[in-house]
Chains A and B, each alone.
Chain A
């Protein structure tokens, strides 16, 4: 299912959210987090029982995934590792590359079958790839809004927040 805005326009963000929630709801998954290579959260879906720090998991996943890919280079792998799996006693974390700049972090309980998570995560990754490609060109247009006026307002706001520190 693809979500729509009130004006019936489907944005790329809507499409991404829909793909993440579809994956989470298909299986018993605690959190699905789409992260870029800088460790920034693009979008996330968390179950109602989720009470962990999503930002910290995104930042750590980004770094451990990057570290795994440096190891791939050291053993002459062609390209990056496609997935990285952390197995725990209560939860597993599966990290899968969407592209060179994005990856998907799936946190799920041990009671959820790993094989199914792998299959459906792979499908979600395939669905996300074209959406992220389209999203990249839109973001470039928005970045052009960082004009001098914006920069002056930002400077004033930093002065306000950092004042006296």
Chain B
């Protein structure tokens, strides 16, 4: 989180993380399509010829001033393909909150689990752990017949009992409720952490 004192802006970096083709870019696409043009930047997409994310996607959203401060949310995706491990780590630099976009299809459960492990490892590189970090789970592709039951996904992936959402990003179902929750959780946890640091005299 960064506060620009000169402009009285509050900046949050939210990263959409998850296995390849789970729907991270689709979340940003839907947000970009629906949000008021006055409240968003261009959608930046760095893609391969095959239309896969090679580095990241990015969009900045803003809302009205609150207590004089203008909140701005910088939303990023990561490339989901296994080979782009280092690129995913780079995208986590300075991250404030994470949306883990899991693919609900039963045959993608292993990929969901592997990428969650990869996230934990990459967060550790910045001295953070999933246990004490603001993140939410989004079970995407709920419209597909091969989608696993949410109870099963929760028992495997939701190891820290974080908020979770069912979604179909391509139609927008669950996209904004996920975004709202991760923003609220992030601000709340940053505030708590700072209070603790203050008490400890850090």
Contact = CB atoms under 8 A, between A and B. Distances in A.
A152 to B, nearest CB: 10
B35 A146 contact: no
Interface residues of B, number: 51
Contacts, number: 127
Nearest to A144: B194
B63 A143 contact: no
Interface stretch (A59-67, A82-90, A121-129): A59-67
Interface residues of A, number: 46
A147 interface: yes
Given A70-B90, A143-B194, A153-B66, A40 B11 contact: yes
Contacts of A37: 93-94
B116 to A, nearest CB: 22
Interface of B: 1-6, 10-11, 13, 34-36, 39, 41-42, 44, 55-56, 58, 60, 63-64, 66-67, 69, 71, 74, 86-87, 89-91, 93-96, 172, 175-176, 179-180, 183-184, 187-188, 190-191, 194-195, 197-198
Contacts of A153: 66-67
Given A146-B191, A149-B67, A157-B71, 11 more contacts: A40-B11, A55-B41, A56-B42, A63-B91, A70-B89, A139-B5, A154-B187, A158-B184, A159-B180, A161-B39, A162-B180
